[in-house]
Amino acid sequence: MTSLDRVITALAKLPGLGRKSAARLAYYLLRADLSYVRALAADLAALRECIRPCAICGAYTEAERCDICVDPSRDPDRVCVVEQPQDIATIEATGEFRGRYHVLMGVLSPLEGIGPEDLRIDRLLRRVREEGIREVIVATNATVEGEATALLLAKQLKDLEVAVSQLAHGLPVGSDLEYSDRLTVSRALRGRVRLD
């Protein structure tokens, strides 16, 4: 097996890449700028040495605590709970949320054998008690697993003095009612907002 074959085989294991796309990338790398390929290899080698979960929220960071957790300008009263570290960037992109985050590092999934004890729920409960958090906004995905996780969180947070909310479900902005699926329209109806 040549190093070309090894690179193709390794790239083909990445999500969303088949053998053909992996081969295309590998052949591209063979003709790409040498300093770029060297930097990519070095960055990949460094990735797992440098990046670790934030000791508080679980987001990826190079420090002990992530930038958001140590930022004194962020509202300490509100915590947004997400499934994965990458979800934080999606919420941040809206510019609508100035609180902090908590990463579950997964979602309830009986099929994959992921139960409540596999998620960072205990850490969330402890944070709510110790940090004096007043609102938990659950931003799990709008999937069956995400919904089940949101319900579980609501149940576990019930006895603590904290408001629990969830991202609204409804029609995506710019979508046609005609092409929306039944469940989405059903949730949009139930969550209707008064205009008067």
CB of 170 to a copy of itself, least distance (A): 23
Give the closest residue to 100 by CA, choosing from 76, 128, 130: 76
For a copy of itself, the closer CB: 37 or 125: 37
Instruction: Report in angstroms the alpha-carbon separations of 123 from 23, 94, 104, 126.
Output: 43, 26, 9, 5
Distance CA 48, CA 45 (A): 7
* SS percent in the chain: helix, strand, coil, step 5: 50, 10, 40
CB of 171 to a copy of itself, least distance (A): 23
Instruction: Report in angstroms the alpha-carbon separations of 102 from 108, 164, 168.
Output: 16, 14, 19
Give the closest residue to 70 by CA, choosing from 110, 94, 100: 100
For a copy of itself, the closer CB: 30 or 70: 30
Radius of gyration in angstroms for the set of CA atoms belonging to the chain, rounded to a whole number: 21
The residues of the shown chain that bind a copy of itself, judged by CB under 8 A, are 2-4, 6-7, 10-11, 13-16, 21, 23-30, 34, 36-48, 50-51, 60-62, 84-86, 89
CB of 165 to a copy of itself, least distance (A): 26
Tokens found for residue 196: 């008067």
Tokens found for residue 3: 């190093």
For a copy of itself, the closer CB: 46 or 183: 46
CB of 54 to a copy of itself, least distance (A): 12
